[in-house]
Amino acid sequence: MLIAFLVEMGYEGFEETDVGIDAYIASAQYDEKAIENMLSVLGSPSISFEKRMLPTINWNAEWERNYPSVFIDHFCQIIPPFRSPRPNFSYTLMIEPKMSFGTGHHETTRLMIQQMQKIDLLAKNVLDMGCGTGVLSILAKKMGAKTVTGIDIDPWSYENAMENIQLNQVDHIDIVQGNTAQIPSQSFDVILANINRNVLLEDMSSYVQHLANEGTLLLSGFYEADEAQLSQKAQSLNLIVHRQLSEHRWVAVCYHKYN
């Protein structure tokens, strides 16, 4: 009830604490008399308040200052445009952090990159399903892939991936908005899919249809408890588990296709 009253008075941010509520409002809008009137309406003598002026802060600069880069061994670093790269990394990916998945801060993105580290992508044709920011597509191209196709159903991801491709100055990456229906009618040497268990189970057969014989399928976006179900599906499609990595119960599995 208290928060509802404060919202009507123009307060925009709230944080519940052990002793009450912190409520935030621009100083120009602060009206102490309105607070006193509200408390009298509520009729609770146990409610008291105190005010505190906060310094003016450039929140965008503060966010940038605290935004962490991601470092995966000495193989790959993922940095935002407002950070400088560290030396001695094989690959540097510059990713604009927006609303798309794939900034490197989630375990599954890091696991996919660790799996890619062990694969020879030179002159390979690569498909990246659920490409998000385009981070894996960009890495694949920097690792020497001949062509890369990234597909994502989300329009935000499509725009963000295109932006990040320009940011990293890579070419021969084709980003498409859509789902498995938009997979080109060709075979791919490597297919990447970091999505979620249900989508992977539903779409795995489509991936395999476009995977070259002796090709590699990298999957992540699911927990260790889901691995057996996914591998059972993979086995029915003539895929063999080659390597599995995990972090905090998240898993990335590398499959090979044999006819």
Q: What is the pLDDT of residue 12?
A: 87
Better-predicted residue by pLDDT, 13 or 164: 164
Looking at the DSSP bridge assignments, the partners of residue 148 are: 126, 173
Average pLDDT across the chain, whole number:
93
**Spatial CB neighbours of 100, under 8 Å, sequence gap ≥ 6:** 132, 133, 152, 154, 156, 157, 160, 161
For residue 48, give the 3-state DSSP assignment: coil
The answer on pLDDT for 252 being more than 80 is: yes
Could you tell me if residue 252 is inside a domain?
A: yes
Give the integer Cα–Cα distance in Å for 20 and 91: 48
CB atoms within 10 A of CB 158: 21
Could you tell me if residue 66 is inside a domain?
A: no
Give the integer Cα–Cα distance in Å for 151 and 174: 8
**Spatial CB neighbours of 173, under 8 Å, sequence gap ≥ 6:** 134, 137, 138, 141, 147, 148, 149, 150, 165
pLDDT category at 55 given cuts 50, 70, 90 is confident
For residue 217, give the 3-state DSSP assignment: strand
Domain that holds residue 157: 107-257
In degrees to the nearest 10, what's the CA dihedral of 168, 243, 69, 87?
-70
The answer on pLDDT for 63 being more than 80 is: no
Residues 31, 120, single domain; the answer is no
Counting the structural domains of the chain, the total is 2
pLDDT category at 62 given cuts 50, 70, 90 is confident
The answer on pLDDT for 57 being more than 90 is: no
Residues 224, 130, single domain; the answer is yes
Q: What is the pLDDT of residue 1?
A: 83
Contact 219, 241 (CB under 8 A): no
Residues 134, 235, single domain; the answer is yes
Percent of the chain with pLDDT over 90: 80
Please count the helices (runs of H) and the strands (runs of E) in the chain. Answer: 8, 12
CATH number for the domain harbouring residue 149: 3.40.50.150
Alpha helix stretches (DSSP H) within the chain: 2-8, 32-42, 59-66, 107-117, 135-142, 155-168, 197-209, 227-236
Could you tell me if residue 70 is inside a domain?
A: no
Could you tell me if residue 82 is inside a domain?
A: no
Could you tell me if residue 80 is inside a domain?
A: no
Contact 47, 54 (CB under 8 A): no
Contact 129, 107 (CB under 8 A): no
Could you tell me if residue 181 is inside a domain?
A: yes
CB atoms within 10 A of CB 107: 17
Report the pLDDT averaged over residues 164-188.
Answer: 96
Residues 10, 124, single domain; the answer is no
**pLDDT (tens digit per residue) in 20-48:** 899 999 988 999 999 988 888 887 777 88
Residues 124, 238, single domain; the answer is yes
**pLDDT (tens digit per residue) in 90-139:** 999 999 988 788 899 999 999 999 999 999 999 999 999 999 999 999 99
Give the integer Cα–Cα distance in Å for 90 and 101: 23
Contact 221, 194 (CB under 8 A): yes
Residues 36, 121, single domain; the answer is no
Could you tell me if residue 184 is inside a domain?
A: yes
Residues 33, 122, single domain; the answer is no
Residues 253, 147, single domain; the answer is yes
Could you tell me if residue 237 is inside a domain?
A: yes
